[in-house]
């Protein structure tokens, strides 16, 4: 929930740059800090519990009740998890440009609840009729109706969209609760990130131990329904902390995604445009990027207007072009990380299927297959 600077600019603010949920000045003693952070850490724990409760053992559901082959199931899981990993970019853009972090968290949590509820309904529906499978020798030959499969994947991708809106906003909104200008709150902010990460890991680990056991041994309906109830409870808890939250005042600055996108669009439109006399004059005055910034020179065309004249809204600034170049410099790092992502993806697909075939009994405890897979990775 962000507001215009003109609506809240006042020297009476105890904490600069933030307001409360009613757009009023906030006092340090009654807002933000740990009184707000505990609600945010709680909703993060619930979100990780729900997400990994679905993703970690998803291959068992696809190869079991849905009757898919291991190869097809792994392909579908990788496509879904890849989509879920990219959607936070869209969620961050919408939050920064339109909704704000607070509203985005609420909407994403609501979508989470709806998606998990639909997943629960898809799981409690009859997977296949017994008459169709009486002569089948393997489970994969017993496939559910096509409509039920479509309904399941619609619910699954709805969860991915919810995760895309939730993930980029929770940590940033938690950071908004601490004033970096205050020494005590600045120190508490560093501690917040430690506890936030601990809560995220706790939610993930508890999901692997609890939900996967329920899904494998009790019911998929319970296995999908429990995360739904947890997310609903977490949303209520998050809303209870509304009166304590600090909301950043929305600045007039354009979103970083919009600025960078505008550079690429303008450079593409000026692809065949020759430098005008105005651009040459700017270069002679040192307005163009410094000589050391010789990478991705084609983006410098974003400095030119189509008609050769500089008009507001038609050309980009030097800083915007340098931001776009900085993003392009990240691509080699991103491509390198793809190798790690390929290996990491095996933990929720082939490693889990391998764990199913093993003797998982140890010290009188029958461990879920995903826990065995996780122990392989740790070793």
Per the structure block, which two tokens stand in for 223?
């296995």
- What does the alpha-carbon distance between residue 125 and residue 147 come to, in Å, rounded to a whole number? 12
What is the mean pLDDT of the segment spanning 331-335? 88
Evaluated on CA atoms 355, 357, 363, 366, the torsion sign reads: positive
What is the mean pLDDT of the segment spanning 184-207? 90
Q: How many CB atoms are located within 10 Å of the residue 7 CB? A: 11
The reply to whether 186 and 39 lie within a common domain is yes
Evaluated on CA atoms 234, 206, 208, 190, the torsion sign reads: positive
Number of domains in the chain: 2
The reply to whether 195 and 117 lie within a common domain is yes
CB 199 within 8 A of CB 45: yes
Q: Is 104 a member of any domain?
A: yes
CATH number at residue 177: 1.20.1250.20
Q: How much is the pLDDT for 134?
A: 43
Q: How much is the pLDDT for 103?
A: 93
* Domain termination site, one of 215, 248, 281: 248
The reply to whether 72 and 129 lie within a common domain is yes
The reply to whether 218 and 244 lie within a common domain is yes
Residue 17 in this model has a pLDDT that exceeds 80: no
The reply to whether 61 and 130 lie within a common domain is yes
Question: Three-class SS of residue 303?
Answer: helix
- Which among 298, 303, 268, 262 has a CA at the least distance from the CA of 285? 303
Range of the domain at 321: 256-329
Q: Is 334 a member of any domain?
A: no
Residue 228 in this model has a pLDDT that exceeds 70: yes
Question: For 138, which DSSP code?
Answer: S
pLDDT in tens, 69-96: 888 998 999 999 999 999 999 999 898 8
Q: Is 194 a member of any domain?
A: yes
């Amino acid at each position: 929930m962000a507001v215009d600077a003109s609506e809240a600019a006042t020297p009476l603010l105890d904490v600069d740059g933030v307001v409360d949920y009613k757009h009023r000045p906030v006092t340090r003693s009654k807002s933000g800090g740990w009184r707000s952070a505990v609600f945010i850490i709680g909703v993060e724990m619930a979100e990780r519990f729900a997400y990994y409760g679905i993703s970690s053992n998803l291959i068992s559901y696809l190869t079991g009740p849905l009757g898919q082959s291991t190869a097809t199931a792994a392909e579908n899981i990788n496509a879904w998890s890849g989509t879920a990993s990219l959607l936070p970019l869209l969620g961050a853009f919408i939050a920064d440009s339109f909704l704000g972090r607070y509203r985005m968290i609420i909407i994403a949590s609501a979508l989470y609840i709806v998606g998990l509820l639909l997943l629960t309904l898809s799981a409690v529906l009859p997977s296949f009729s017994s008459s169709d499978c009486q002569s089948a020798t393997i489970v994969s030959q017993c496939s559910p109706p096509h409509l039920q499969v479509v309904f399941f994947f619609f619910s699954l991708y709805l969860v991915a969209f919810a995760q895309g809106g939730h993930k980029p906003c929770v940590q940033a909104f938690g950071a908004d609760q601490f004033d970096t200008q205050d020494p005590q709150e600045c120190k508490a902010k560093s501690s917040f990130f430690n506890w936030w990460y601990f809560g995220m890991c706790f939610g993930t680990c508890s999901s692997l131990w609890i939900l996967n056991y329920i899904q494998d041994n009790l019911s998929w309906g319970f296995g999908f329904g429990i995360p739904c109830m947890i997310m609903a409870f977490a949303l209520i808890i998050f809303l209870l902390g509304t009166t304590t939250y600090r909301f950043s005042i929305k600045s007039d600055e354009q979103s970083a995604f919009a600025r960078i996108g505008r550079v690429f669009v303008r450079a593409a439109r000026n692809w065949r445009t020759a430098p005008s006399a105005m651009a040459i004059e700017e270069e002679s005055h040192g307005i163009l990027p410094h000589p050391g910034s010789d990478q991705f020179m084609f983006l410098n065309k974003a400095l030119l207007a189509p008609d050769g004249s500089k008009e507001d809204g038609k050309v980009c600034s030097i800083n915007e072009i340098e931001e776009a170049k900085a993003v392009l410099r990240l691509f080699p790092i991103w491509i390198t990380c793809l190798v790690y992502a390929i290996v990491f993806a095996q933990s929720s697909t082939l490693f889990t299927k391998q764990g199913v075939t093993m003797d998982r009994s140890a010290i009188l405890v029958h461990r879920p297959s995903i826990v065995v897979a996780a122990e392989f990775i740790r070793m």
